[in-house]
């Protein structure tokens, strides 16, 4: 779970931008054979290499996370079967158990091939690995791998990959043997009973079940107990979920399942409740604890993280709209209670209860959203909204505009009955109306709290509330401490403005995340959108002030809203369509191969720093252009001149061109320059019509 990200956000004001490797995950596509035999299946291996300390996720990520997915690019007639995933690891990540892979992992996939392939030709195979890769934080990654294989007459094992495929098969779970496993339901729990048979290892060590389905609670300890030689494993279920018809997953043994084959550590298991699989009948047993407890979380990490939650609440008191009233509120308690010290403390407790109730409501509202955090950062619209959110509140903290400056004063102005009821109400109302002032701190908390269970969210928000109310509690017991409080001054405003850079840096990190979710043109528009949001905030802070005329405030408000709405309009991601064009990276070798094959080739000479090039990209979304490229079977190639490339420069010079954009169509009669400036769909269609 994202406990640490949440709590450090509250403690320090924002998520820190963490340095990350440009390639946290790389993929390599490998073949077991030297070539493709027409009509026969081919086993491919996708080798995933993780950056040191990073991990990606299995088909069930366990805790917060997202399953790794494979998207194939195969020629017509080829069909990839379901991937064979290696046995996952149970990993502790930010106080949560996750299922996934570290270092190197090889996924095996069988590919069916058509029988009509001509021997002597070559075939290009490619796969895109979509993964959520986590280290100190998480980022979506797309790793592409490709492979060109010749079409041959006979199957020949490739020596260079022989050991890799052998090890990959050894890492796969195998079919159940020499054991009998029965499944049942008891009091809302799933129960497995494992009975060793002939050749089984009677002391398999720690036993752990990795469920492929999501109703099994991965965060609850799995404790196998042994009685009469039979092992019993209870599996808790996720809150508010129901068990299906049976269990589907992988069950592992630390010391191996078989007596003479200790390397067999994982069985693939799929069975219905009330049934059993294996060679011997399992009988119900009375269970006694055994020393083979599965991995689980420790309390030490949770306690340290809750400490940061407390500090996060405490730091909210330094905000300019909160800090100045602490002393006033404490003196108000003393005035209400007279000289009775116990009564003063009771007022402090009542005020604290009001604060806590407000935070409990916030936590419950978050949980009522019914969302799961795991994949939200792979949703471009969600990331864009979060990015603009941080821009707005970062500028608020920097002083570009102000909201909530008199919020706590409003709480003091509200009249209420005297006594403890008033102190409770003051705590409740002060927290509510001070929220705009502390929103830059609470906003990330609300976002990341989605990943917590209801109980965990209530616990964390309770600790934050205790941190916020701690000064009131302490000074209720010792009112004389009020005189030692630092005087409110410009230091508070400097502190607030300094913290704004953390929020703005976070918006920058989110823009970088978006670069992996959308194409270049849309990412550019999202970046311009962030500038428009900042412009709207500036207009609001400049003209929507109380002393400005009504006309100025109205025009300023409309302009600010229009700027932010415009940012969302130009930046909002659209659904990806199946007709999206696919581009190959330019290289002299690729161009030579395409020329030898007599292919029609369209080359877009472009660069990221070229504004006209970015504007031109909208043409490639035109349905007529897409249809024309497909009709003529045109191969699309992108020559990216962002970095200095002497080979691209030489090609441009051969066409008497010194700059980009340049768009060239290589046809049977030689190359045609389609355009060297602003590109229109009609120009591409005209060039193709001449073929």
On whether both 142 and 187 belong to a single domain, the answer is no
Span 339-371, pLDDT tens digits:
566 776 787 788 788 888 877 877 776 666 544
Closest among 457, 196, 471 to 329, alpha carbons compared:
471
Residue 200 domain-assigned? yes
Task: Please tell me the distance from the alpha carbon of residue 27 to that of residue 21, in angstroms, as a whole number.
Answer: 15
- For the range 365-374, what are the long-range contacts, defined as Cβ-Cβ under 8 Å and sequence gap of 24 or more? 366/446, 366/449, 366/450, 366/457, 367/449, 367/450, 367/454, 367/457, 369/450, 371/450, 372/64, 372/450, 372/451, 373/2, 373/64, 373/448, 373/450, 373/451, 374/61, 374/64, 374/65, 374/66, 374/132, 374/451
Please, what is the average pLDDT of the chain?
77
Query: Hunting for tokens 């009375």 — which residue is that?
Result: 286
Query: Hunting for tokens 């000289």 — which residue is that?
Result: 339
Whether 432 shows a pLDDT value over 50: the answer reads yes
Span 534-575, pLDDT tens digits:
999 999 988 888 788 888 889 988 999 999 999 989 888 865
Average pLDDT over residues 575-596: 78
On whether both 287 and 435 belong to a single domain, the answer is no
Looking at residue 33, what DSSP letter applies? B
Higher pLDDT, 380 or 241: 380
Residue 190 domain-assigned? yes
Average pLDDT over residues 444-448: 51
Share of the chain above pLDDT 70, in %: 74
On whether both 153 and 206 belong to a single domain, the answer is no
Whether 684 shows a pLDDT value over 60: the answer reads yes
Query: Which residues lie closer than 8 Å to 476 by C-beta, 6 or more apart?
Result: 330, 333, 344, 345, 347, 348, 349, 351
Residue 396 domain-assigned? no
Q: At what angle do helices 341-368 and 325-337 cross, to 10 degrees?
A: 130
Whether 212 shows a pLDDT value over 90: the answer reads no
Average pLDDT over residues 165-177: 90
What is the full DSSP assignment across 334-377?
HHHHTT-HHHHHHHHHHHHHHHHHHHHHHHHHHHHT---GGGGG
pLDDT of residue 487: 62
Closest among 126, 107, 5, 109 to 56, alpha carbons compared:
107
Closest among 476, 393, 383, 486 to 441, alpha carbons compared:
393
pLDDT of residue 42: 92
On whether both 312 and 459 belong to a single domain, the answer is yes
pLDDT of residue 539: 92
Four-point Cα dihedral 294, 297, 300, 305, nearest 10: 170
Confidence of residue 294 (pLDDT cuts 50, 70, 90): very low
- Domain residues for the domain of 223 are 174-293
On whether both 449 and 355 belong to a single domain, the answer is yes
Helices and strands of the chain, counted as H and E runs:
17, 25
Average pLDDT over residues 177-195: 85
pLDDT of residue 318: 65
On whether both 627 and 665 belong to a single domain, the answer is yes
Span 34-77, pLDDT tens digits:
999 999 999 999 999 998 888 899 988 887 778 899 999 999 88
pLDDT of residue 360: 83
Domain CATH code at residue 283: 2.60.40
Closest among 266, 267, 288 to 277, alpha carbons compared:
267
pLDDT of residue 338: 55
Q: Round to the nearest angstrom and report the end-to-end CA distance of the chain.
A: 57
Residue 544 domain-assigned? no
Average pLDDT over residues 374-386: 68
Span 21-36, pLDDT tens digits:
457 899 999 999 999 9
Residue 381 domain-assigned? no
Average pLDDT over residues 583-609: 89
On whether both 98 and 184 belong to a single domain, the answer is no
pLDDT of residue 372: 40
Average pLDDT over residues 251-262: 89
Residue 322 domain-assigned? yes
Higher pLDDT, 276 or 497: 497
Choose the weakest-confidence range: 199-208, 400-409, 620-629, 645-654.
Answer: 400-409
pLDDT of residue 472: 75
Distances (CA, A) of 40 to 108, 111, 239: 16, 9, 47
Domain CATH code at residue 610: 3.40.30.10
Higher pLDDT, 290 or 377: 377
Last residue of a domain, one of 116, 148, 170: 170
Average pLDDT over residues 295-314: 57
Whether 616 shows a pLDDT value over 70: the answer reads yes
Which tokens sit at 300?
């030490």
Tell me if 35 sits within 8 A of 152, measured CB to CB: yes
Distances (CA, A) of 677 to 63, 479, 659: 51, 74, 10
On whether both 164 and 178 belong to a single domain, the answer is no
Count how many domains the chain has.
4
Domain CATH code at residue 51: 2.60.40.1250
Which tokens sit at 353?
């209860």
Confidence of residue 621 (pLDDT cuts 50, 70, 90): confident
Environment class of 690 (CB within 10 Å of its CB; exposed 0-12, middle 13-18, buried 19+)? exposed
Looking at residue 378, what DSSP letter applies? G
Average pLDDT over residues 10-17: 35
Phi, psi of 187 (to 5 degrees): 55, 45
pLDDT of residue 6: 39
Measured in whole angstroms, the distance separating CA 513 from the mean position of its chain's CA atoms is 9
On whether both 126 and 114 belong to a single domain, the answer is yes
Task: Indicate the pairing of strand 662-667 with strand 601-606.
Answer: antiparallel
Which tokens sit at 64?
């917060």
Whether 629 shows a pLDDT value over 50: the answer reads yes
On whether both 196 and 50 belong to a single domain, the answer is no
Residue 182 domain-assigned? yes
Last residue of a domain, one of 142, 170, 198: 170
Last residue of a domain, one of 139, 170, 201: 170
pLDDT of residue 485: 56
On whether both 242 and 333 belong to a single domain, the answer is no
Span 477-504, pLDDT tens digits:
776 765 665 565 666 677 667 767 877 8
Choose the weakest-confidence range: 8-22, 136-150, 494-508, 526-540.
Answer: 8-22
Residue 391 domain-assigned? no
Query: Which residues lie closer than 8 Å to 123 by C-beta, 6 or more apart?
Result: 36, 75, 78, 117, 148, 149, 150, 151
Tell me if 399 sits within 8 A of 542, measured CB to CB: no
Number of other CB atoms surrounding residue 356 within 10 Å: 22
On whether both 85 and 67 belong to a single domain, the answer is yes
């Amino acid at each position: 779970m994202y406990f640490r990200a949440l709590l450090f956000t509250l403690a320090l004001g924002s998520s820190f931008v963490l340095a990350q490797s440009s390639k946290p995950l790389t993929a390599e596509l490998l073949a077991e054979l030297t070539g493709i035999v027409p009509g026969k299946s081919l086993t491919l291996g996708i080798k995933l290499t993780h950056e040191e300390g990073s991990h990606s996720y299995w088909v069930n990520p366990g805790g917060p996370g997202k399953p790794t997915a494979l998207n194939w690019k195969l020629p017509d007639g080829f069909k990839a079967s379901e991937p064979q995933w290696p046995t996952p690891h149970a990993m502790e990540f930010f106080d949560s158990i996750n299922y996934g892979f570290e270092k190197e992992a090889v996924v095996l996939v069988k590919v069916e091939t058509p029988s009509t392939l001509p021997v002597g030709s070559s075939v290009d195979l490619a796969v895109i690995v979509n993964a959520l890769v986590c280290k100190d934080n998480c980022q979506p990654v797309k790793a592409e791998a490709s492979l060109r294989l010749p079409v041959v007459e006979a199957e020949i094992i490739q020596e260079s990959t022989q050991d890799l495929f052998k090890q990959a098969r050894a890492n796969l779970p195998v079919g159940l043997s020499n054991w009998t496993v029965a499944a049942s339901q008891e009091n809302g729990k799933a129960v497995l009973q494992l009975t060793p048979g002939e050749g089984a290892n009677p002391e398999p060590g720690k036993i752990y079940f990795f469920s492929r389905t999501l109703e099994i609670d991965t965060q609850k300890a799995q404790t196998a107990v042994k009685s009469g030689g039979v092992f019993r494993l209870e599996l808790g279920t996720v809150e508010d979920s129901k068990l299906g018809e049976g269990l589907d997953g992988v069950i592992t043994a630390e010391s191996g399942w078989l007596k003479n084959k200790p390397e067999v550590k994982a069985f693939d298991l799929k069975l219905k409740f009330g049934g059993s699989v294996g060679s011997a009948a399992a009988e119900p047993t009375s269970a006694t604890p055994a020393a083979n407890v599965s991995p689980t979380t420790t309390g030490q990490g949770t306690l340290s993280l809750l400490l940061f939650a407390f500090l996060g609440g405490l730091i909210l008191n330094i905000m300019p709209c909160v800090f100045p009233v602490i002393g006033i509120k404490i003196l108000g308690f003393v005035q209400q209670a007279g000289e009775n010290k116990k009564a003063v403390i009771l007022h402090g407790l009542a005020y604290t209860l009001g604060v806590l109730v407000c935070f409990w409501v916030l936590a419950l509202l978050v949980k009522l959203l019914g969302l799961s955090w795991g994949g939200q950062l792979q949703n471009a619209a969600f990331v864009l909204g979060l990015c603009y959110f941080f821009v707005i509140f970062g500028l608020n903290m920097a002083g570009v505009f102000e909201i909530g400056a008199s919020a706590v004063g409003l709480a003091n102005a509200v009249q209420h009955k005297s006594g403890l009821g008033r102190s409770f109400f003051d705590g409740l109302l002060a927290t509510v109306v001070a929220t705009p002032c502390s929103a830059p701190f609470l906003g990330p908390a609300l976002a990341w709290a989605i990943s917590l269970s209801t109980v965990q969210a209530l616990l964390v928000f309770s600790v934050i509330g205790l941190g916020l109310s701690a000064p009131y509690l302490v000074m209720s017991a010792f009112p004389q401490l009020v005189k030692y409080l630092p005087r409110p001054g410009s230091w508070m405003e400097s502190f607030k403005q300094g913290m704004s850079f953390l929020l703005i840096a976070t918006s920058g990190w989110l823009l970088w995340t978006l670069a992996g979710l959308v194409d270049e043109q849309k990412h550019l528009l999202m970046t311009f959108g962030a500038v428009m949001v900042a412009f709207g905030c500036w207009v609001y802070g400049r003209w929507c002030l109380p002393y400005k005329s009504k006309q100025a405030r109205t025009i300023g408000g409309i302009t600010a809203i229009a700027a932010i709405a415009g940012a969302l309009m130009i930046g909002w991601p659209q659904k990806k369509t199946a007709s999206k064009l696919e581009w190959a990276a330019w290289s002299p070798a690729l161009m030579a191969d395409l020329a030898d094959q007599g292919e029609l080739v369209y080359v877009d000479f472009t660069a990221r720093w070229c504004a006209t090039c970015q504007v031109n990209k909208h043409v490639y979304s035109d349905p007529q252009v897409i249809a024309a490229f497909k009709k003529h079977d045109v191969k699309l190639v992108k020559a990216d001149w962002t970095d200095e490339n002497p080979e691209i420069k030489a090609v441009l010079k051969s066409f008497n061109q010194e700059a980009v954009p340049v768009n060239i169509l290589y046809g049977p009669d030689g190359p045609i320059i389609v355009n060297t400036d602003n590109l229109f769909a009609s120009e591409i269609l005209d060039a193709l019509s001449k073929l």
